[in-house]
Amino acid sequence: MHTVPEEGPSIPNPPTGPLADSGQPEQFPSAPQVPTGGGFALWVRDLLVSAVASVLIITFLYQPVRVEGTSMLPRLEDRDRLFINKFVYHISAIERGDVVVFHYPRDPEKSYIKRVIALPGDRLRIDHGAVILNGRRLLENYVPEEYQDSRSVAEMVIPEGTYYMMGDHRSISSDSREFGPVERSLIYGKAVFIYWPARDAGVVR
């Protein structure tokens, strides 16, 4: 939402030339109306409605979180603050490439943030760092060359209701290569926007 400042009353130029002495009474704009008590009450009401709506949106749709660790470099840095959308996966499917937040399978009290690499039913293997998905190498522009590693994973089919997760900083990330595919029920949000620090602000891709 945005507001546009109201324009003040226009001030006409005084007449010049013959009309200035025509004897006609000089016209002045009427004074601006002062809001009545009822108008002030409506303004307060609208302000309160906007505040409540904002709180509900943040509470039920978005949640601020803080990144701890460097496994999602270069896009997400340690101590970055970002918003996750907690509602989106109730109305749309999880897609490859989404950066998601989930409860760590080995300790649900902890939360991890990783990228979705493979979906249920996908055939996946990793050959010395190269991700082979359904028989074709996955192009991963989000993984800089210096963050790649040479680990391999035997071919597998991702079980129904689970997702294969990996960090973008492959050489230091603890992910599905260690703890396996993640159950859908453990995934609770999609990373959408970094809001702090300001230099990193922007959409998470």
Q: Which two tokens stand for residue 177?
A: 């290569």
**Cα(195)–Cα(83) distance, integer angstroms:** 7
Residue 167 belongs to some domain of the structure: yes
Q: First vs last Cα of the chain: how many Å apart?
A: 24
- The total number of structural domains in the chain stands at 1
Residue 10 belongs to some domain of the structure: no
**114 catalytic residue (yes or no):** yes
Residue 107, C-beta contacts closer than 8 angstroms, at least 6 positions apart: none
151: domain CATH number is 2.10.109.10
List phi, psi (to 5°) of 165.
Answer: -115, 140
Residue 14 belongs to some domain of the structure: no
pLDDT in the model for residue 164: 98
Residue 9 belongs to some domain of the structure: no
Residue 180: burial class (beta carbons within 10 Å; 0-12, 13-18, 19+): middle
Give 86-109 pLDDT, tens digit per residue: 999 999 999 999 999 999 999 999
Range(s) of the domain holding residue 150: 62-203
**Cα(67)–Cα(191) distance, integer angstroms:** 11
Give 179-191 pLDDT, tens digit per residue: 999 999 999 999 9
Residue 181 belongs to some domain of the structure: yes
% of the chain beyond a pLDDT of 70: 78
Catalytic residue, chosen from 10, 50, 54, 71, is: 71
Residue 28 belongs to some domain of the structure: no
How far out from the chain centre does Cα 29 lie? Answer: 49
Residue 173 belongs to some domain of the structure: yes
**190 catalytic residue (yes or no):** no
Catalytic residue, chosen from 22, 114, 152, 173, is: 114
Residue 126 belongs to some domain of the structure: yes
